[in-house]
Amino acid sequence: MKRYISRITNWPTPFPFRNLNFFMVDKERNFGSKPTKEPINNEEGNQISDMLIDGFGRKHTYLRISLTERCNLRCQYCMPAEGVDLTPSPKLLTHNEILRLANLFVTSGVDKIRLTGGEPTVRKDIHDICSNLSSLKGLKTLAVTTNGIILAKKLPMLKQCGLTNLNISLDTLVPSKFEFMTRRKGHHKVIESINAAIDLGYNPVKVNCVVMRGFNDDEICDFVNLTVDKPINVRFIEFMPFDGNVWNVKKLIPYSEMLDTVAKKFPTLKRLCDHPTETAKNFQIDGHVGTVSFVTSMTEHFCAGCNRLRLLADGNLKVCLFGPSEVSLRDPLRSGAGDEELREIIGAAVKRKKASHAGMFDIAKTANRPMIHIGG
Ligand SMILES: C[S@@+](CC[C@H](N)C(=O)[O-])C[C@H]1O[C@@H](n2cnc3c(N)ncnc32)[C@H](O)[C@@H]1O
Ligand code: SF4
């Protein structure tokens, strides 16, 4: 704790709180039509349209949808100290537009959707969105990534609405450190949500932990201890550079170092077999109910197996988390584009996707959005 206090003064200071307003949503539903391009099969035997296949043969069957740019926390590694410019509500995708686009992706071969943000649970219509998305034929996984602050109460209903998978972010087990990093209180609420998720039968409950030198690197083994008797998958994430998050390579704890720390304390740590599109390197420790994973985007990227696309809250499509290029789907949608035209726009963006990201030092120098706009 002493070490933490001595180092945290190097971190940026908090910025003033802003009032939160929620969006209005369009209740009308329009699910669009079926794909017309000749589909091919993916490894699991599902049909996948050419729109989702890039120049390197990667099949993008996983769509992450940011439901909002707003958040009830202000994590220093995600949100710039001065806050972010929020897109005016009329320029954000409505409920109806999200469903129309999601349907287009799912009928083209996407079988996994993750809702993110900002904080997705602050969106009042998240239950309706889950209900509608989970009823899309062909969708196998509907996941959410959340900070867990207001999740516990909402979770039983979200489960009923078809939410199948859950990632809850928690970077520290020490409440005062949580308050420092997120610039808000609420540590106990996140713990409550993790317990609620376990009680509701989510297995595993994934816990995302961004590891930063001098902040929480001394807690790695404490997090691993959570996996002893709980169905938790602790995911240690390398600190990534985004606009305004004051990234510094000295704060990054590389995968090799994290792995060393865990292996020394838990000598029975064993690597599991990972799916080719898996972003995490997964491990099991003898006798532990849960598992441990490392998301090594910076020191050992996994771009070759990337199957992700990102739809941002303002309707822009991003084909790479770290690439600045984006294309608006909202504008053509609002100008009356049909599904075929939208598919062409999406397909062209997917085909322009680069083989891999530029590397952490170049990423740190390149203008991108703040993480809170992208959603991870
Ligand atoms: C942007 S958040 C959005 C969803 C939700 N508000 C939450 O915190 O889980 C998605 C994930 O990105 C992670 N994240 C944010 N900024 C990051 C950074 N600079 N490096 C690595 N992970 C980051 C968060 O810890 C979280 O697990
Ligand atoms: S990481 Fe999640 S909880 Fe933290 S500021 Fe970003 S969006 Fe909000």
Q: pLDDT digits over 302-358, tens only? A: 888 899 999 999 999 999 988 888 999 999 999 999 999 999 999 999 999 988 887
Whether 58 maps to a domain, the answer reads yes
More confident call, 16 vs 185: 185
Q: What is the pLDDT of residue 45?
A: 55
Task: Name, in order, each residue with C-beta under 8 angstroms of 225's C-beta and a sequence gap of 6 or more.
Answer: none
Whether 104 maps to a domain, the answer reads yes
Confidence of residue 37 (pLDDT cuts 50, 70, 90): very low
Quick one: DSSP state of residue 212? B
Cα of 45 to ligand 1 centre, how many Å? 32
> What CATH number has the domain bearing residue 325?
3.20.20.70
Backbone phi and psi for residue 180, each to the nearest 5 degrees, phi listed first = -65, -50
Question: Are 213 and 174 in contact, with CB atoms under 8 Å apart?
Answer: no
Whether 19 maps to a domain, the answer reads no
374 lines ligand 2 (CB under 6 A): no
Whether 352 maps to a domain, the answer reads yes
- What's the domain range around 318? 2-12+45-371
Helix (H) or strand (E) holding 206: strand 205-211
Whether 261 maps to a domain, the answer reads yes
118 lines ligand 2 (CB under 6 A): yes
Alpha carbon of residue 92 to chain centroid: 19
Work out the percent of the chain whose per-residue pLDDT is above 90.
Answer: 72
Tell me: the pLDDT tens digits for 209-234? Answer: 999 999 999 999 999 999 999 999 99
More confident call, 302 vs 182: 182
Residue spans of alpha helices (H) in 200-304: 220-225, 255-265
Whether 39 maps to a domain, the answer reads no
Cα of 67 to ligand 2 centre, how many Å? 13
Tell me: the pLDDT tens digits for 127-145? Answer: 999 999 999 999 999 999 9
| Mean of pLDDT over the chain | 87
Instruction: Give the Å distances, CA to CA, from 278 to 43, 110, 144, 308.
Output: 14, 16, 17, 11
Which residues' Cβ are closer than 6 Å to ligand 1? Answer: 71, 77-78, 116-117, 119, 145-147, 169, 208, 210, 237, 239-240, 242, 245, 371-372, 375-376
Cα of 50 to ligand 1 centre, how many Å? 30
Query: Directed axis angle between helix 175-182 and helix 187-199, to 10°?
Result: 110
Residue pointed to by tokens 């000295």: 250
Whether 28 maps to a domain, the answer reads no
Could you please report the per-residue DSSP string of 22-63? PPP------------SPPEE-TTS-EE-GGGB-TT--B--EE
Task: Provide the β-strand partners of residue 64.
Answer: 114, 310
Name the nearest CA neighbour of 104 among 357, 361, 347, 367.
Answer: 347
d(CA 332, CA 325): 17
Tell me: the pLDDT tens digits for 247-272? Answer: 888 999 999 999 999 999 999 999 99
Give me the number of domains the chain comprises: 1
Residue 133 neighbours by CB distance under 10 Å: 22
Query: Directed axis angle between helix 187-199 and helix 151-160, to 10°?
Result: 30
Whether 36 maps to a domain, the answer reads no
pLDDT at 1 > cutoff 90:
no
